[in-house]
Amino acid sequence: MSDQHRRFLRLRQLPHVWCPGCGNGSIVKALLTAIGDLGLDQDRVAVISGIGCAGRAPFILDFNTMHTTHGRALAFATGMKLVNPDLKVIVIMGDGDASAIGGNHFIHSCRRNLDLTALVFNNGIYGLTGGQLAPTTPAGKRSTTSMSGNIEHAFDLVRLALGAGAGFVARTTSYDNKQMVTFFKRAISHKGFAFVDVMTACPTYFGRMNDLGEPYELLHYLRDTTSPSEDIAREHDESPPADLMPTGIFRDEERRDYGTLYSQRALATSGKGRS
Ligand SMILES: Cc1ncc(C[n+]2csc(CCOP(=O)(O)OP(=O)(O)O)c2C)c(N)n1
Ligand code: SF4
């Protein structure tokens, strides 16, 4: 662990609770690299999470942190950002957290465009509670509640966020440290709601249930089941093969964010905005 990462960690909280080979550690490391590279003031960064394995990240992070309730991280983050507009607010959610119990908060946050960075640690399963089916479990894959294979279709969180109007939308994997760092920096710098879907490895449940082998083999699975979006557009005339998840930045458009509009309206209605 380098000094760049160490200064952002609550060392007294280590070791963390994640299983050996879990992708969450790689994602957090990339996030800390991004925050360090951007030169953000540690005291002006807030990290807010819901409940789940992903939700444990703020325990070890030395920023302003909140470990909130399952599915409600974005609601807490919305309040925190509105009363502290200068904070960089980063929200960490599990895929179940963000798209099942928190699904409505997710789509309305994309629509509302408050200046938040939302990262979903997408392991395709409910990790903390024992490997149950999530809305993101790929069709055909096994979980502890779909032992003979999932018969539902999975949410594609990138398409969901694009449809709901998020200004910055990207997908990466915990296999690709360099891409994670680049996308996290772009997302954090984006003024408005930014979402990154991070496909990650849960060797304990997703990997074991689906006979995907050792943790490093699960990383190869992430590599082999995703494809850069540019390649897909070039090779497949914009129709990605159904078995490959595209990674890349799918939208990066700035439009007036909710916080700016809200403070302008508040000033105008209090009379202070009138000359
Ligand atoms: C209101 C509420 N419902 C259910 C739970 C139980 N619960 C805790 S974490 C979790 C799911 C975790 O899966 P996910 O959000 O995908 O995160 P992961 O653990 O995989 O990182 C559930 C159902 C809870 N804590 N609170
Ligand atoms: S159960 Fe899965 S997601 Fe949770 S810490 Fe273990 S490997 Fe990671």
- Check if 192 has its Cβ closer than 6 Å to any atom of ligand 2: no
Q: What is the pLDDT of residue 228?
A: 80
- Nearest-atom number in ligand 2 for the CA of 53 is 4
Residue among 131, 175, 172, 168 at smallest CA distance from 150: 131
User: Any idea what the CATH number is for the domain that residue 202 is in?
Assistant: 3.40.50.970
- Distance, in Å, from the CA atom of 134 to the CA atom of 153, rounded to the nearest integer, reads 10
User: For 185-207, what is each residue's pLDDT tens digit?
Assistant: 999 999 999 999 999 999 999 99
Per-residue confidence (pLDDT) for residue 234, from 0 to 100:
46
Count how many domains the chain has: 1
Inside any domain, residue 37: yes
Distance from residue 55's CA to the centre of ligand 1 (Å): 9
Distance 65 CA to ligand 1 centre (A): 19
Give the domain range for residue 7. 3-269
Q: Is residue 113 part of a domain?
A: yes
Residue 8 φ/ψ, nearest 5 degrees: -100, 5
Residues in CB range of 33: below 8 A, 6 or more apart:
4, 5, 177, 181, 184
Ranges of the chain with pLDDT below 70 = 230-242, 272-275
In a domain, 275, yes or no: no
- 80: phi > 0 → left, psi -120 to 50 → alpha, else beta; which? alpha
Would residue 239 count as lying in a domain? Answer: yes
Ligand 1 site-directed mutation target among 97, 99, 133, 198, most atoms within 8 Å of CB:
97
Task: Report the 10 Å Cβ neighbour count for 148.
Answer: 7
Instruction: Give the pLDDT confidence score for residue 230 in this predicted structure.
Output: 59
* 3 state SS of 246: strand
Give distance in angstroms: CA of 124 to centre of ligand 1: 13
CA dist 36 to 85, 168, 172, 188, Å? Answer: 21, 21, 20, 12
Closest ligand 2 atom to the C-alpha of 56?
Answer: 5
**DSSP of 154-222:** PP-HHHHHHHHT-SEEEEEETT-HHHHHHHHHHHHHSSS-EEEEEE---IIIIIHHTT--SHHHHHHHH
Place of tokens 């380098």: 2
Establish if 274 belongs to a structural domain. Answer: no
Token pair in block for residue 150 = 């999932």
Task: Mention every residue, 6+ apart, whose C-beta is less than 8 A from residue 69.
Answer: 50, 51
236 alpha carbon to ligand 2 midpoint, in Å? 34
How close is the Cα of 124 to the center of ligand 2, in Å? 11
